[in-house]
Structure 1
């Protein structure tokens, strides 16, 4: 059978031997593409015990059958590998937007698998079937901007380049891969995986196209229907401000378009207008709303207020996406620092370094200037933000004064009392460079990096990035201790300095969920649902599916619509509570309530939906359209849309339940892959030991349970954990009474979360005691080969 969507070819490059080979895509068809192929390659080819920087590790640049087809929000790609952000290098993926992924598809490739290590720096050139390994010695040491410019000068301006900066070259665990100037694949140090292979960049240019199985008329109709169901960024389906055409509005919405709100730096300025949905084509404003969807999401205004709106040229984004999430800015003030006035990014990508800066009092543009300095520098150096956790740890290490109780509990020297972690851990010579004095005390010298940062001077970021990521490696660093911990991220930092692990585990200011990695729409996103999702992954969860229904119509409406999908005798998919229990019942009035089977069903569906989107590939930031802006539909979206798109593109007819089973296959393989690598390290410490995923992997940091005065703590699972909250200095005003989800403080109950795990495992077909897929589940999903590699972990 001839399928649409896939090109039929996968490119494999062995940098050790220089071999360039082609493989058939269809041997991976049941894994779709993207992370699906990535998980299978890691399972088949990367044995447990392999380290992320070993030549034997693979890094897979994956696209899927939807990539390049033109369907809305299908322009992304994923990078799958072992991640060095963890001490034990667990598997994971980073996600990158722009146009690099579609260009790989147009060049005729369904994925790119890279293995081995080049003897010297190289870059890969791909022009359709012409693939070569090129010398990158003159590019090494440069940032991503100059690297991309040099490669595009050689290949042509229509080429697209994925590159690493100095962070990846120097094997920083917080390094990312950058394409199209500001689109990044983070995922826990994936830039350093390229760096470990001496791979500087991959340039791609394609002249082909993607075959679509269905006819033109049906394809146009399906795409128009899809557009009618989409909202704004994060699929927010109601406007932020009250507008005459809208029944509902929500102040948290990213549907920010409004009369009188402009892209102020456009020439001439562009009014975003009401930018209504498809049911309200107001004369003179939105006669064809499908052509103005990109104005709905004005994140320059959402993220930075009127200063952001005034400096926004337009909203930009990924190929084939009508939503447009990236803020393209013009900030002339940056030119005085030798930095381009034109920059582009979104969300925490704008605030990596600026989050450690003070705002200049009375300056309207201070925050924006610093944020755009940050995005320029960190994109050029290829430095990853760890979803904001890096800056939180940095600020705590600089400002938190250690108490006697903390030092005693952490078995730190008495001399540490009354000083900050930076003051205690950094040599006097490094403190002098950073602060202007050998003790690191305030006030800092005005000309020092910390002094400039406290004054809101953007040049502080230029000083600090060179100390964090010195060009040429640690041997050239002026501040090697500072660079070692700060450049390598919270997990590595916690291994070196246990007080960082303690902060991540016990303090609500921390953004850490577990394993010293960041939460990503966790407890604040429907309580147990967000927590269960964050438990499952080996980095910040990168799952927006559940988050994308938290904003929109009133909560009661959302709850009812989600019950129709996941808690009803007539529910359409495989994840369901037929007894009709509530799902989305979190609010500022009612607080959090105990877990239900409906919540578990919704959680399972969100996890499987993410795996499907990362395999097809479709954007998780703007989808799924389980809600819509259309009052005529009762704000219902269409849960069948992705299955319908997949069938239309490939010709492989599947219904929703069949499609969800494919997603469950991918999620279950990822689960087994993670367990296999974790079990190796358990047995390395204790040959008779065995990993238990329920207890060793699926857990939450203690700060989500701690109360003031509580002397209990959860199981010890890493640096800085197992320390009672009574000595933490954590004065957050949690309720004193042990009631699950009291008020709005996100106070969890350990017992309720254990019940939540069991309900989720039941939905997924995983064993309730171990959290591993059962033998029956593996057989149903075509994964019986998994048991042969980890037989002791699989139960009947």
Structure 2
């Protein structure tokens, strides 16, 4: 189709109807769990070829001016981190865990000219792409010498995907050129839970393992279910379940010695068996909910934090109560998979001190009490409910507008002269310029609320119950039972309180205009959001709250 085309395709996992099959539209760019839908329709790929330029609704200069403003004053590094990870002459703060990693002496070691990321200060728009060195964040310090450059999504200035040249990969029969980010790298290391051994230099075993696994998963088209595929495997192996459920011949055919020795060659066996549905072992590709039922996982799986389960429905946690307390907990209860929402977490983890974040929170949600210091959280309040609503509806907006929720909303800024305040109206400003339809921030947020309320109504319909609180918005026990010697609301613990979390759900339901008892959308809210037809259909099904 040529260079001007874009293709979304499934791999062999999708062709074989593996539940955890993905749709790929480029190396390291995939949509988890949809590949089997394509496969069931005998659909291998969809190709799109552009035939013209993108049309802008308003004057192009308005778009260029908006871009310049964002690039100079607002945008940070990956995840909208606005504080550097090392001392910089332009910043009064340092945040060691920041993804703003650029510094003098940190280079793309495999690039032509050994490019130095240098001082990529705010306002220097030509160096925004140097700010995030994702290779060392995801693969360790050794990865710097194997880094060709950073990559990412089309036209995005924040380059958060590491493009690597790792010659050691060729011994496993894959290309030395690997590209990925975040869970694409992390998940294979979760499969190799026994650890990895270095081959030639410190840290290269971990890097090679992650890069090999990412290549195999992408080539076959296998989703990691936000890392749960490895955690499910670990539990089944360590608990003895695999030895019990696999036929003896199949169990003995698996090269467990490679796993025990930390040899990444084990990953070739792991992903191949899942992709081609080879034996009972391949059911690891069914997903947590199904495999836990099939193999009868014990309560210890759900109630132990290391397996990262959030819901008895099989969803892993994703920036939940362990990072953002009630706000993260609410958001993790709302979706029908891992929450995949960064609206709240990007703000909390931006690198700014808590007192600065609280001033921003006061402007946005009415009080600095919307957020808490790390491991020192307070009881639920209405401002946290407002923050949670903001997080959910902005996530829905970003999915609808094809904006990256790994960056947006741009709630904070790296500039002291702005008091580190970002610009939460940017989505509406871009929408207005691009479409030519003048839309305020409040109007666009209402659209997001409509999207998520429809999502909720569909969940009510599919589950056949209005009792979202009791049947959907569930949390496993470790959230409340961790740190047995500590009480909730005590400094140093992330332990949540059961009654407080039920109050949190009630307050969130109220913010959304849902029934406070069940968590289901009411007729009044559905009609307020111009969805009378949805309300009428739910009423016919007996699925509107009384």
Q: After TM superposition, give the deviation of residue 361 of structure 1 in Å.
A: 5.0
Which of 507, 522, 527 is the equivalent residue of 2:304?
Answer: 507
Written as runs of structure 1 = structure 2, the 5 A alignment for 1:332-411 is 332-357=167-192, 358-361=195-198, 363-364=201-202, 365-400=204-239
Map Cα deviations across residues 32-79 of structure 1 (whole Å, 9 max, x no partner): xxxxxxxxxxxxxxxxxxxxxxxxxxxxxxxxxxxxxxxxxxxxxxxx
> 1:370, CA displacement in angstroms?
0.9
2:323 counterpart SS class: coil
Measured in 1, the distance between the counterparts of 2:316 and 2:258 equals 28
Question: TM-score w.r.t. structure 2 length?
Answer: 0.95
Structure 2 partner of 1:112? none
Q: Does 1:650 align with 2:485?
A: no
Is 1:696 aligned to residue 471 of structure 2? yes
Contact 1:277 1:629 in 2 (8 A): yes
Instruction: Extract unaligned runs of 5+ from structure 1.
Output: 1-154, 279-288, 401-419, 435-447, 568-579, 680-689, 708-733
Q: 2:247 aligns with which of 403, 406, 427?
A: 427
Q: Is the CA contact (8 Å cut-off) linking 1:354 and 1:461 kept in structure 2?
A: no
Cα-Cα RMSD: 1.5
Contact 2:14 2:21 in 1 (8 A): yes
Cα displacement (A) at 1:461: 1.3
Q: Could you list the runs of 5+ residues in structure 2 that have no partner in the other structure?
A: none
Shift of 1:305: 2.5
3-state secondary structure, aligned to 2:491: coil
Aligned equivalents of 2:29 and 2:545: distance in 1?
Answer: 42
Task: Check conservation: 1:740, 1:752, Cα contact below 8 A.
Answer: no
**3-state SS of 2:70 partner:** helix
Counterpart position of 2:84:
239
Which of these residues, 350, 353, 356, is aligned with residue 557 of structure 1? 356
Matched, 1:300 2:135: yes
Deviation at 1:326, TM superposition (A): 0.6
> What does 1:251-290 correspond to in 2, within 5 Å?
251-278=96-123, 289-290=124-125
Shift in Å at residue 252 of structure 1? 1.4
- What are the equivalent positions in structure 2 for 1:627-666 lying under 5 Å apart? 627-666=412-451
8 Å Cα contact 2:229/2:285 also seen in 1: no
Cross-structure match for 1:111:
none
Does the CA contact (< 8 Å) of 2:357 and 2:368 recur in 1? no
Secondary structure of the 1:604 match is helix
- The Cα of 1:354 is off from its aligned counterpart by 3.2
| Alignment partner, residue 445 of structure 1 | none
Q: C-alpha deviations, 1:143-191, integer Å up to 9, x for none?
A: xxxxxxxxxxxx22432221111111111111111112221111xx201
Q: Tell me which residue corresponds to 1:225.
A: 69
How far the C-alpha of 1:202 sits from its partner, in A, is 1.2
Farther-moved stretch of structure 1 (594-603 vs 304-313) = 304-313
Work out which of the residue numbers 520, 525, 539 in structure 2 matches 1:772.
520
What is the rounded CA distance, in whole Å, between the counterparts of 1:503 and 1:317 in structure 2? 39
Quickly say closer, same or farther: Cα 1:217–1:466, change in 2 above 3 A.
Answer: closer
Segments of 4+ in structure 1 off by > 4 A? none
Asked whether the equivalents of residues 359 and 368 of structure 2 are also in contact (C-alpha less than 8 Å), the reply is no
Aligned-residue offset at 1:195: 0.7
Contact 1:171–1:193, Cα closer than 8 Å, also in 2: yes
- 1:160 partner SS: strand
Deviations 1:669-715 (A, max 9, x none): 00001110000xxxxxxxxxx440121111211111125xxxxxxxx
Matched residues in 1 for 2:426 and 2:143: separation? Answer: 35
Tell me, what secondary structure is at the counterpart of 1:258? coil
Alignment partner of 1:324: what SS?
Answer: coil
Q: How does 1:16-165 map to 2 (within 5 A)?
A: 155-165=1-11
> How many corresponding residue pairs?
537
Question: Structure 2 CA distance, aligned partners of 1:747 and 1:498?
Answer: 27
Give a deviation string over 1:443-468, Cα, whole Å, max 9, x none.
Answer: xxxxx2x2112222222211222222
Name whichever structure is richer in strand by fraction: 1
Q: Aligned partners of 1:182, 1:554: CA distance in 2, in Å?
A: 33
Aligned to 2:286: 488
C-alpha contact 1:241 1:249 (8 A) present in aligned 2: yes
Q: Which has the larger radius of gyration?
A: 1
**Secondary structure of 2:343's aligned partner:** coil
1:386 aligns to what SS in structure 2? Answer: coil
Give the secondary structure class of the aligned counterpart of 2:178.
Answer: strand
Relative to structure 1, the CA distance from residue 581 to residue 353 in structure 2 (aligned partners, 3 Å threshold; closer, same or farther) is: closer
Distance 1:633 1:548 in 2: 18
- What is aligned with 2:145? 310
The answer to whether the 8 A contact 2:480-2:498 is kept is yes
State the distance in 1 between where 2:373 and 2:523 align. 36
Counterparts of 2:543 and 2:53 in 1: how far apart (Å)? 44
Deviation (angstroms), 1:735: 3.3
- Normalized per residue, the structure richer in helix is 2
Looking at structure 2, the residues matched to 204 and 701 of structure 1 have their Cα atoms a distance apart, in angstroms, of 43
Q: Distance in 1 between matches of 2:491 and 2:131?
A: 34
Q: Is the 8 A contact 2:371 2:384 kept in 1?
A: yes
